[in-house]
Amino acid sequence: MKSTQATTSIKRGFAAIAATLALFSASAVAQEPIKIGAFLSVTGGAAFLGDPEQKTLELYVAKVNAAGGVLGRKLQLVAYDSAGDAEKARTFTKRLIEQDKVDVIVGGSTTGETMAVVPLVEAAQIPFISLAGAVVIIEPVKKWVFKTPHTDRMACEKIFIDMQSRKFSKVAMISGPGGFDKSMHGQCLGVAKKYGIEVVADETYGGGDTDMTAQLTKIKNTAGVQAVLNAGFGQGPAIVTKNYRQIGITMPLYQSHGVASKEFIKLAGAAAEGVRLPAAALLVADALPASDPQRSVVVNYRNEYESHFKSEVSTFGGHAYDGLMIVVEAMKKAGGTDKAKVRDAIEATHGFMGTAGVFNMSATDHMGLDLSAFRMLEVKGGNWTLVK
Amino acid sequence: MSAQFMQYLLTGLTVGAIYALVALGFSIIFNASHVINFAQGEFVMIGGMASVSFTAAGLPYLLAIPLAIAAAALVGLALEKFAVEPARGASVVTLIIITIGASIFLRGLAMVIWDKRLHPLKPFTGDTPIAIAGATILPQSLWVLGVTLAIVLALSWFFGRTLLGKAMLATSHNRLAAQLVGINVRRVLFLSFGLSAALGAVAGILIAPITTTSYDVGVMLGLKGFAAAILGGLGSGVGAVVGGLVLGIAETMSAGYLSSAYKDAIAFVIILAVLFFMPSGLFGKRDGERV
Amino acid sequence: MLSRLASPRTGGLLALAIVIALLPLALANKYFYDIAVLVGLNAIVCVGLNLLIGYAGQISLGHAGFFGLGAYGSAILASRYGWPPLAAMLTTTLAVAALAYLVGRPILRLKGHYLAMATLGMGIIVYMVITTEDRFTGGPDGIAVVPFSIGGFVLQGERIWYWVVGVLLLAAVWLALNLIESPTGRALRALHSSEVGAEVVGINAAEHKLLVFVISAVFASVAGSLAAHYSGFVTPGKVAFLHSIELVTMVVFGGMASIFGAVVGAAALTTLPQLLTVFEDYEMMVFGAVMMGTMIFLPRGVVPSMARLFQTRRNASSDDRAGSA
């Protein structure tokens, strides 16, 4: 499996060289493909976002082409690895716009990368669908910028509503060092009051930390704490969860949507039992009732992804699916790739059923998801289950 | 209160032991070549990731772990043979850049051979926390502490009692003199890379069940180990161990009693302070004399 | 006459000026201009860093810290507090120079590579402060920076920046070349051959090294300020330890103790990732292999090694200038 992947990757490399050469020979091909540009953090600290995103885009561009393409034209994906580096993201975006002359950009795994390229896409007037989480991307609204993942503020709200329903009012937070963690931490502190929640302990950990028992011991010894919320992704939350059980804390533990994949349960092992987090329905595709309109979309996407890549699906790849499909729909509606028309069509997206929920975009909302898109999940018996 | 202190101490010792193993690796290579080997963290990664692979292939720990250590040692030896040795005679800065290139290369290679995901490794002996004076410790932490202690004892025997060890020590003290008395300095350098790599791999295997492991886990551990080595005095074995433990305890204590926001900075503030006030570290040779 | 032109002082500077003047002919669009600007900014840092590595014989593993302080100093003062960009940049530069002085003074009195460790620690502390103090710095997600403006004239667009950075790079190279020919430069070269010998004739090693260290920090800080205004956005990525390593690699790759080597190194390593995109997953491996390969086979760096090769071919005898180009 791995070796076939490697050879296709080398083939793709040669294809890219050929494509570059073709660029220099100025002969334009009739019926040019529609170019989808992407810059994703395929390596580096945010690879867990960029990797499934890139795989999803590759998979679905191929699928759309196999089904005849869009408006009779094939799609062509031009993807670069920005490695979580905002400077690289900027340069690659310039390359996409100036050199590759793409029709639309879907990408930006992290908020930092997204915000760094916003001025560029605004100036170049090219539709851009970001795959990053923070609310600053769409507030205030930027004419050419959209996003498909739920915002971190929504995650906080969903968690606090759940806490409220369990009659918790005093909680502790422990957050990681990344942009995602910090942004969510800030949003949660911002909306806590609204839900009658008081954050009585506020700890952080560093990148590559191997142990968080010190911070958790401090939280354990803080008077009145009723629940703990961990804003973070990757290795950190797995260690927090294990340490949490190790030092015998029995209060409920909430994680963020940043660890919304089966992998988290595998990493944290038995310690993950009872952990709650807000996530898209994708993770519990089979648990959805047959009547749920989202069921067919998420079940299809999950089956496609898992059978093709032999790895567990995550919600992050789902955001790339949503982004690509919204663009495809918009181009069909706009009847071409005229950037202004495509932009207007994206903004007019209504009732689109994606893996993240129903998208209803508008001139004032460039994401179009509401809180109903989030489901509260709990780990039970080594699997995600819906909290009723 | 004292239970809390105990918890911080146990945690700090566990973390510190890992730093100490990485720092020892830095010191051994530094002694043999005056090169700061920035690929040291990658040995930690290879140890952990190779163990994950071998156990996933169905091997028992008793086989998988020695194999993983051997794999890392081989990579270390290959690094010396194919990258450091051919550049013999180049300046120290050039050699350091080679090790940085090697670290990027190895990380890239690991990403292709394995993947970018995090991988859990099963603890050696269960996951049930053990209570000590009101604090808790994982059985794996006991493994970390025990194995580190065993390695430190073995190393002190090696350097103090065996011919090869003494030759390595002699080379670090005075390369030319060592050469004159017939020590094969090149072989010492070769072996020091293998030994360092093996130590790094041990650290990576010991910590993986606690923290999970991935292709880029070596970056931060390498940096912290380097900090510990400087704190103890680069090139000093005792210094590396004490430096690691002090760093681990200082980090957890400050996270526990002060603020966790600047926990990681503490290591580097200590380094600056050490360099300003006692530049050869806690146990370093006094070669940092004022001009 | 010919030999005078061939000397690095005049000939090299002229050659660099010609390259900068003619390069736009090959720059097809804004993307290529963007790469050229990034090369120029990195080259300014590298010219300064090369003075430290090549002539003072010291490594800095924290130059990204100086670069980052320059970038964030300008960003915060100009964008958050509305200072005029030039005033913000000058203030930041002075502060960075003071910091470099404070760090360098005690350390550079010591023999050995202690500066490497001290700058490593300093760089990482700077990185942590910038990612943690998000009220000022925007944290890991970074902050937007206003465009550089001076007296109502706003610097914007890749083409204008290309010329600004080109002229500044020339100025930086000119300054560096002059420094090497100055008493400090000669003292440093004497130190390089024999530190003890130099001291015997009364050269104060520490003071000269400190001066060069502060100058290299100032170059990095100015380049950082400019980069922030040019990009319009700054994130902690440019302050990270890895970027410090990249900078040192550029210098060593191009050639230690070679001002033009530093420029070539910056150009090579800034454009390399753009060329390596075709390798996709293998990009990192290839990058590492290129780094190792160059250092193993051209341990003196690309420019001095090439110069030496050229020299020996053209003329087996004469001219002891080889390698100093």
Q: What is the DSSP letter of B81?
A: I
Q: What is the pLDDT of residue A320?
A: 96
Does some domain include residue A176?
A: yes
Q: When comparing pLDDT for A5 and A241, which is higher?
A: A241
CB contact under 8 A, B18 and A238: no
Residue, of B175 and A79, whose pLDDT is higher? A79
Asked if the model's pLDDT at residue C303 lies above 70, the reply is yes
- State the average pLDDT over residues A153-168: 94
CA gap B245, B224 in Å, rounded: 11
Contacts of C230 in chain A (CB under 8 A): none
Any idea what DSSP says for residue A310? S
- Confidence check: pLDDT of A209 > 90: no
Question: Which token pair is C149?
Answer: 């403006």
Tell me if C107 and B275 make a contact (CB, 8 A cut-off). yes
Q: Which residues in chain A are contacts of B139 at CB distance < 8 A?
A: none
Last residue of a domain, one of A247, A279, A311: A279
Predicted confidence (pLDDT) per residue in C212-257, tens digit: 999 999 999 999 999 999 998 898 888 988 899 889 989 988 888 8
Query: Which residue is listed with tokens 């002969």?
Result: A27
Does C290 contact B101 at a Cβ distance shorter than 8 Å? yes
Rounded to 5°, angle at Cα C312 from C309 and C317: 160
- Alpha-carbon distance of B89 to B95, in angstroms, equals 9
Q: Is A241 helix (H, G, I), strand (E, B) or coil?
A: helix
Lowest-confidence segment of A22-36, B195-209, C138-152 by average pLDDT: A22-36
Q: What domain range is A160 assigned to?
A: 152-279
Q: Min CA distance, C99 vs chain A (Å)?
A: 25
* Surface-to-core class of residue C18, CB atoms within 10 Å of its CB (0-12 exposed, 13-18 middle, 19+ buried): exposed
Q: Are A154 and A374 in contact (CB under 8 A)?
A: yes
Quote ipTM for the complex: 0.85
Best C122, C134, C287, C296 member to test B by mutation, with max B CBs in 10 Å, is C296
User: Do A230 and A98 lie in a common domain?
Assistant: no
Question: How distant is the Cα of C21 from the closest Cα of chain B, in angstroms?
Answer: 33
Joined together, the tokens standing for residue A29 give 């091909």
Name the pTM for this structure.
0.86
Whether B73 and chain C come into contact, CB under 8 Å, resolves to: no
Tell me the average pLDDT of chain A: 88
Phi, psi of B260 (to 5 degrees): -85, -10
For residue B97, the distance in angstroms to the closest alpha carbon of chain A comes to 21
- pLDDT for A150 beyond 60: yes
The string of pLDDT tens digits covering residues A316-364 is: 999 999 999 999 999 999 998 999 999 999 999 999 999 999 999 999 9
Answer whether B272 sits within 8 Å of C118, measured CB to CB. yes
B18, B120, B216 ranked by CB distance to A269: nearest: B120
The angle that helices C283-297 and C259-275 make with each other, rounded to 10 degrees, is 150
Helix, strand, coil percentages in chain A from 3-state DSSP, rounded to 5: 50, 20, 30
Distance CA A291, CA A297 (A): 12
Q: Which amino acid is at C27?
A: L
pLDDT at position B283, please?
66
pLDDT of residue B289: 35
Which of A44, A206, A247 is nearest residue B7 as measured by Cβ atoms? A247
Domain ranges, ordered by start, for chain B: 23-216
pLDDT tens for each residue of A365-387:
999 999 888 899 999 998 899 88
Residues of C in contact with A9 (CB under 8 A): 280-282
Give the position of tokens 């002699």: B170
A226 and A113 co-located in one domain: no
The yes-or-no verdict on residue A16 having pLDDT over 60 is no
Residue C266 has, within 13 A of its CA and on its CB side, a CA count of 26
The pLDDT value given to residue B277: 83
Work out the average pLDDT over C30-54. 93
A378 lies in a domain?
A: no
What dihedral angle (degrees, nearest 10) is formed by the CA atoms of B98, B215, B123, B206?
Answer: 10
Upper half-sphere CA count for residue B250 (Cβ side, 13 Å): 20
Rounded percentage of chain A residues whose pLDDT exceeds 90: 60
Inspect the interface and report whether the beta carbons of A247 and B136 lie closer than 8 Å. yes
For residue A104, the cross-strand partners are A36
- CATH number at A245 reads 3.40.50.2300
CATH of C2-314, one of 3.30.70, 1.10.3470, 3.30.390, 3.40.1710: 1.10.3470
- A263 close to B (CB below 8 A): yes
**Does A137 lie in the same domain as A219?**
no
Angle formed by the axes of helices B2-33 and B40-56, nearest 10°: 110
- How much is the pLDDT for B282? 65
For chain C, which residues make up each domain, given as ranges? 2-314
Task: Report the pLDDT value the prediction gives residue A90, as an integer from 0 to 100.
Answer: 92
Exposure string for C88-104, b = 16+ CB within 10 A, e = fewer: bbeebbeebbebbeebb
Determine, for residues A207 and B220 on separate chains, whether the beta-carbon distance falls below 8 Å.
Answer: yes
Please state the domain count of chain A: 2
**Checking DSSP bridges between strand A128-130 and strand A104-107, what pairing results, if any?**
parallel
Q: Cis peptide before A289, with omega less than 30 degrees from 0? A: no
Indicate whether A139 and A68 sit together in one domain: yes
What residues contact residue A70 under an 8 Å CB cut-off, 6+ apart?
Answer: A34, A64, A328, A331, A332
The band of A12, judged by pLDDT with boundaries at 50, 70 and 90, is low
What Rg value do the Cα atoms of chain B yield, rounded? 19
Is pLDDT of A20 > 90? Answer: no
CA C3 to chain centre: 28
DSSP for residue B82: I
User: Which amino acid would we find at residue A108?
Assistant: G
- Band of the pLDDT at A230, cuts 50, 70, 90? very high
Among A187, A249, A239, which residue's Cα sits nearest to residue A218?
A249
Is a pLDDT exceeding 80 seen at residue C198? Answer: no
Asked if A312 reaches chain B (Cβ–Cβ under 8 Å), the answer is no
Could you read off the pLDDT of B193-246 as tens digits, one per residue?
999 999 999 999 999 998 889 888 898 889 899 989 988 888 888 889 999 999
Three-class SS of residue A330?
Answer: helix
B288 contact residues in C (CB cutoff 8 A): 110-112, 114
Average pLDDT over residues C47-55: 91
Which stretches of chain B score pLDDT less than 70?
1, 279-291
Nearest CA in chain A to B217: A208
End-to-end CA distance of chain C: 17
In this structure, the answer to whether residues A174 and A272 fall within a common structural domain is: yes
Domain boundary, last residue among A245, A279, A313: A279
Measured CA to CA in angstroms, residue B71 lies from A317, A330, B111, B219 at distances of 34, 52, 16, 19
Q: Would an 8 Å CB–CB cutoff place B261 in contact with chain C?
A: yes
Chain B: residue nearest C296 by CA?
B87
Chain A residues within an 8 Å CB radius of C28: 99
The values of phi and psi at residue C286, to 5°, are: -65, -40
Averaged pLDDT, A51-70? 94
**C47, C173 in Cβ contact below 8 A?**
yes
pLDDT value for C7: 55
Three-point CA angle C93, C99, C100, nearest 5°? 90
Other beta carbons within 10 Å of C248? 27
3-state secondary structure string across chain C: CHHHHHCHHHHHHHHHHHHHHHHHHHCCCHHHHHHHHHHHHHHHHHHHHHHHHHHCCCCCCCHHHHHHHHHHHHHHHHHHCCCCHHHHHHHHHHHHHHHHHHHHHHHCCECCCHHHHHHHHHHHHHHHHHHHCHHHHCHHHCEECCCEEECCEEECCHHHHHHHHHHHHHHHHHHHHHHHHCHHHHHHHHHHHCHHHHHHCCCCHHHHHHHHHHHHHHHHHHHHHHHHHHHCEECHHHHCHHHHHHHHHHHHHHCCCCHHHHHHHHHHHHHHHHHHHHHHHHHHHHHHHHHHHHHHHCCCCHHHHHHHHHHHHHCCCCCCCCCCC
Query: Tokens 């869009």 sit at which residue?
Result: A70
**CB B29, CB B196: distance < 8 Å:** yes
Q: Which of A188, A166, A197 is nearest to A388 (CA)?
A: A166
Contact C321, C7 (CB under 8 A): yes
Where does residue C243 rank: exposed (0-12), middle (13-18), buried (19+ CB within 10 A)? buried
What does the pLDDT look like over C308-318, one tens digit per residue?
877 777 665 44
pLDDT of A263 reads: 84
pLDDT tens-place string over residues C3-36: 444 455 677 888 899 999 899 888 888 899 999 9
Residue A312 and residue A253 share a domain? no
Can you give the length of chain C in residues?
Answer: 325
Higher local confidence (pLDDT), A302 or C206: A302
Quick check: helix, strand or coil at residue A34? strand
Q: What is the mean pLDDT of residues A236-255?
A: 91
Residue C306: the pLDDT is: 82
pLDDT at A17 over 60: no
Q: Report d(CA A205, CA A176) in Å as an integer.
A: 5
pLDDT of C156 reads 84
Q: Are residues A173 and A146 in the same domain?
A: no
For residue A275, the model assigns a pLDDT of: 94
> Which of B112, B259, B260 is the best residue to mutate to test the A interface, defined by the most A CB atoms within 10 Å of its own CB?
B260
Radius of gyration of chain A (CA): 21
